[in-house]
Structure 1
Amino acid sequence: MKKEKKIITSKRRSFIKKAGLLTFGVAGASVVKAPYAYSASNPIKWRLQTYSGAPLGAHVIKPQIEAFNKAAYGEMEIELYYADQLVPTDELFRAMQAGTLDAVQSDDATMGSPVDISVFGGYFPFATRYSLDVPALFKYYGLNEIWDEAYSEVEGVKWLSTSAWDPCHLFTVNKKVTSLADMKGLRVFGVPTAGKFLAQYGLIPVTVPWDDVEVAMQTGELDGVAWCGFTEAYEVGWADICKYALTNSVTGAWFGSYFANQKAWDKLSPKLQALYRMSINDSHYYRQVWYWGGEADLRVNGKKMELTSLPDNEWAKVVNDSKAFWDETSSISPRAKKVVDAFKLYANTMEKAGYPYR
């Protein structure tokens, strides 16, 4: 009996030893052959620069980056840089394409994207009325496919996702705007597309580094901003300088996107790519709620700015003028026309749907 037990024990030990060697051999082979292998002591490092300054970045991107770095658990770490810290904002695209930056958060127009749809990034007049319009347009009206197609034609860059930020209002330091005539001569910081549209009423778009906007308004270099909504104006301190806020919004939500350098993106494992996309989606949700809740609350309860509005007939003219702007933009290219056609179809659908959509 003891002899039989000894034989069984010996066989078990032999099996475990062989199984261990086999497992080690398989694991060793997989480590050598696998394209994705990481060490907690040597994580992948990315440098990401956002369009926003630090006060705004605390909401529009910092929570996402912190969450991603924690979830990556030593396999990857993203270093976050704010507006103009590494490169000027209008050079973000080229810096990412060249590999100076691994990733970017911005709208297409502000970062100087060399694609025929860049004009739609940021604030395209009256393309949206509410923040949920943006993800709906991308998911159900073909914009996801159009953006992916456009950036697939540009070497070295990967477009990842677009969603909504806040609406675009005009905030002024000293001049009260109660008519279109009051816009004439106002030097205003803002995103390119909205600035181009509003220029027909005499507004003068001015470009300065984001961190210089506050000082430029204090010194009189700028008369105001047409860059954001109420939530952002209060958060970054512009509401402390501007005395007046125009309640009419030229569009309901900013088109903001996430991009990556193609080589940097391709080096990530499928797991890390999925994790990064998940963190982007979580950031989209965070902003949607943060902006939406703030816009209503600060219009009603905010005490820092006096609210003004344009007369109904003048505002109707602005809305009508946007039709010509749309038609002009659709002539850029067949792809640009597809985007405008999607806007028209969406607007028509929303009008027909009625309350609570329009």
Structure 2
Amino acid sequence: MKRREFLTKAGIASACAVAGATVNAPFVHASQKSTIKWRLQTYAGPALAEHVIKPQIEAFNKIANGDMVIELYNADQLVPTGELFRAMQRGTIDAVQSDDDSIAAPVDVAIFGAYFPCASRYSLDVPTLFNHYGLKEIWEEAYSEIKGVTWLSAGAWDPCNFATKEPINSLADLKGKRVFTFPTGGRFLKRFGVVPVTLPWEDVEVALQTGELDGIAWSGITEDYTVGWADVTKYYLTNNISGAWAGSYFANSDKWDALPEHLKTLFRMSMDSSHYHRLYWYWWGEAHYRVTGGKLKLTTIPESEWQTVENEAIKYWDEIALKSPRCAKVVKILKEYNEVMKKAGNPYRS
């Protein structure tokens, strides 16, 4: 072969090799993409997390298809619940599922998280208030004033009822009872002689067995059976302090802002899926365990006497309204909403 022909053919071969490398480059790059990793801590212990968040996170991770993986941690597993907000702000954890009240969120509306006394009657009240009565916009405004944390979404959980070792048949029976409950709920229940006790979630069952606690006002009957509290209490009071727990999802703002839009959309959809799942799981469980549970005996305070609690709740609302103009706005919405529900009649309000 002549020298000129050799050089020409070699040049063509080199060009083809370069072209081949160029065509394959995106594939090589894609196979080496980095996966976004988050750590999310829930308020719930292991048995409860199986229902209230684990299905959501497993589905999200599957659909994200390697673009993102969320590691789920249970109550107090990485950070004590009361320190969750600050830990998220610092970036120690990336996201939280809890209520504003329990994680000590430094916003005025945090007091309405969890079980604000008598604010709701049914679980559907919570998403209705947020999506049709303006609470969503109020929460977004409040958290926009706090650096480092983004509020994402609120949904409903179960009602708040007493499960106790001794029967509660009147308000007088509540006096002196040491009860595990939420911060705001505890402050309200003090008016009826209840002694609120704060403990790590996983210590509650033992505290009921040892006598450190007389009962709990932390959930409805579904959770009492699911997490084992029905095994260490005997009675369940059908009157509830609130018809639904209002919980939220939060994220570290830098981590949230850094997500590509398709992952933000996917996470929002997974939150909605979780909200929906909880609505029917709790609605089923609250009736199912009352009828077929077999462990807890039901007691009821007469409606005429329980009206004292509801009247006191309205006084409490008015006190909270004085905290800030924004709190006053929320209380105004709650009053307007409940008035609409009463006028609508059954099945909204009797």
TM-score in terms of structure 2 length: 0.91
Q: Aligned partner of 2:326: which letter? A: R
- Quote the sequence identity (%): 60
Matched, 1:269 2:260: yes
Q: 1:131 aligns with which of 123, 133, 152?
A: 123
Q: Which residue in 2 is equivalent to 1:48?
A: 40
| 1:296 matches 2:296 | no
Separation (CA, whole Å) in 1 of partners of 2:348 and 2:30: 48
Partner residue, 1:314: 305
Question: What is the alpha-carbon distance in structure 2 between the residues aligned to residue 167 and residue 38 of structure 1?
Answer: 47
- Spell out, residue by residue over 1:231-274, the C-alpha distance to the aligned partner (whole angstroms, 9 max, x if none): 11100000011100000001100000000000110111000000
Match of 2:238 in 1: 247
**Contact 1:38 1:75 survives alignment (8 Å):** no
Distance 1:210 1:103, change over 3 A: same
Please say if 1:220 is aligned against 2:208: no
CA drift at 1:40: 6.6
Answer yes or no: is 1:165 the counterpart of 2:145: no
**Aligned counterpart in structure 1 of residue 220 of structure 2, from 216, 222, 229:** 229
> What CA distance in whole angstroms lies between the structure 1 residues aligned with 2:285 and 2:30?
41
Residue aligning to 2:201: 210
Aligned length: 330
More divergent stretch after superposition (303-312 vs 55-64): 303-312
* Residue 279, structure 1, aligned to residue 262, structure 2: no
Work out whether 1:339 is the aligned partner of 2:330: yes
Query: For residue 9 of structure 2, what is the aligned residue in structure 1?
Result: none
Gaps of 5+ in 1: 1-16, 32-36
Aligned to 1:69: 61
**Code of the aligned partner of 1:141:** Y
Is the Cα–Cα contact under 8 Å of residues 39 and 75 in structure 1 kept in the other structure?
A: no
Inter-partner Cα distance in structure 2 for 1:292 and 1:204: 29
AA of the residue aligned to 2:202: D
Q: 1:194 aligns with which of 185, 202, 211?
A: 185
Q: Which amino acid aligns with 2:43?
A: Y
The whole-number CA distance in structure 2 between the counterparts of 1:85 and 1:130 is: 31
- Kindly provide the CA deviation profile for residues 143-171 of structure 1, in whole angstroms up to 9, marking residues without a partner as x: 00000000000000110000100000001
Structure 1 residues 101 and 39, CA gap change in structure 2 (3 angstroms): farther
Given the superposition, is the C-alpha separation of residues 65 and 336 from structure 1 closer, same or farther in structure 2, using an over 3 Å criterion?
A: same
Q: Report SS of the residue matched to 1:326.
A: helix
The one of 77, 81, 98 equivalent to 1:85 is: 77
What is the rounded CA distance, in whole Å, between the counterparts of 1:322 and 1:40 in structure 2?
Answer: 58
In structure 2, give the amino acid aligned to 1:332: K
Shift of 1:194: 1.2
User: Offset of 1:42 from its aligned partner?
Assistant: 2.6
SS of equivalent residue, structure 2 residue 337: helix
- 3-state DSSP class of the match of 2:72? strand
Residue 337 of structure 1 and its aligned partner are, at CA, apart by 0.7
1:99 to 79, 88, 91: 91
Instruction: Give distance in 2, aligned partners of 1:38 and 1:237.
Output: 47
Q: C-alpha distance in 1, partners of 2:346/2:30?
A: 52
Question: What is the RMSD computed on CA atoms of the aligned residues?
Answer: 1.8
Distance 2:95 2:306 in 1: 39
* Gaps in structure 2 of 5+ consecutive residues: 1-15
Q: Per the alignment, in what secondary structure is the counterpart of residue 269 of structure 2?
A: helix
Whether the 8 Å contact between 1:39 and 1:74 is mirrored in structure 2 is: no
CA separation of 1:40/1:148 partners in 2, compared to 1, >3 Å: closer, same or farther?
farther
Taking a change above 3 Å as real, the CA distance of residues 271 and 201 of structure 1, as seen in their structure-2 partners, is: same
- Counterpart for residue 115 of structure 1: 107
2: distance between equivalents of 1:121 and 1:203? 20
Q: CA deviation at 1:311?
A: 2.1
Shift of 1:312: 2.4
Distance 1:24 1:156, change over 3 A: farther
SS of residue paired to 2:108: coil
SS in 2 for 1:129: coil
Pairing of 1:27-46 with structure 2 (within 5 A): 42-46=34-38
Cα shift readout 1:62-107 (whole Å, capped 9, x = no counterpart):
0000000000000100000001110100000000000001000000
The 1:320/1:270 distance shift into structure 2, 3 A limit, reads same
Q: Give the conservation status (yes or no) of the 8 Å contact 1:40–1:74.
A: no
1:203 and 1:310 map into 2 onto residues whose CA distance is: 16
TM-score w.r.t. structure 1 length? 0.89
Amino acid of the structure 1 residue aligned with 2:324: S
